[in-house]
Amino acid sequence: MSSPSHHRPWILLLLLTCFGLAYADGPGLGTAAPDFKLQDQDGKWHTLADYRGKWVALYFYPKDQTPGCTTQACDFRDNIFAYREAGAVILGVSVDDVESHKAFVEKHGLPFTLLADPTKETARRYGVLNFTGFAKRETFLIDPKGVIVKRYVVSEPKGHSDVVLKDIKELQAKS
């Protein structure tokens, strides 16, 4: 009979993947961000190409109206003027539908776009769809040319917006 220790690497990989601590497949740094066509909270269609020329904080989150997702969305909300001043837009994406996003935006006064990915295709293309069918909490920072310059696996929603904003400012200062 074999020792259970030979299973440990698989268990570790499973835990890292389940808890979003390991990158899944998806676009790498320095590559073009995959385009998408998704509806926002008002039913209007958006593509990534619509935002060419701007910095984009494309953040994926598991579910509207949950504690961590609300904390993260409200942090982005609270920094909206600094993002606008930096010429950056915030796009939130989850597998929730348009109606769920509309209620989330209205309840929390979110002044940015939430995109509905009910087919889960965009989450798959970005490598953030977890085994439960929800998006993992990850953010992609996309430069004005449409290239991914940072990828964040978010373990703590509170303060994440500040980190992304700081990185945008640092990257802008270098260019």
Q: Which two tokens stand for residue 117?
A: 């990915």
Assess whether 18 carries a catalytic annotation: no
Please check whether residue 163 is in contact with residue 141, taking contact to mean a CB–CB distance below 8 angstroms.
no
Q: Which two tokens stand for residue 73?
A: 């969305």
Nearest in space to 63 (alpha carbons), one of 150, 136, 164: 136
- Provide φ and ψ at 6, rounded to 5°: -70, -15
Amino acid identity of residue 74, one-letter, is C
DSSP string of 120-149, one letter each residue: -HHHHHTT-B-TTSSB-SEEEEE-TTSBEE
Nearest in space to 129 (alpha carbons), one of 47, 34, 41, 29: 34
133 CB-side CA count, 13 A: 3
- Provide φ and ψ at 145, rounded to 5°: -90, -5
Residues 33, 56, 57, 69: which is the catalytic one?
A: 69
Q: Which two tokens stand for residue 149?
A: 């310059």
Give me the active site residues, please: 69
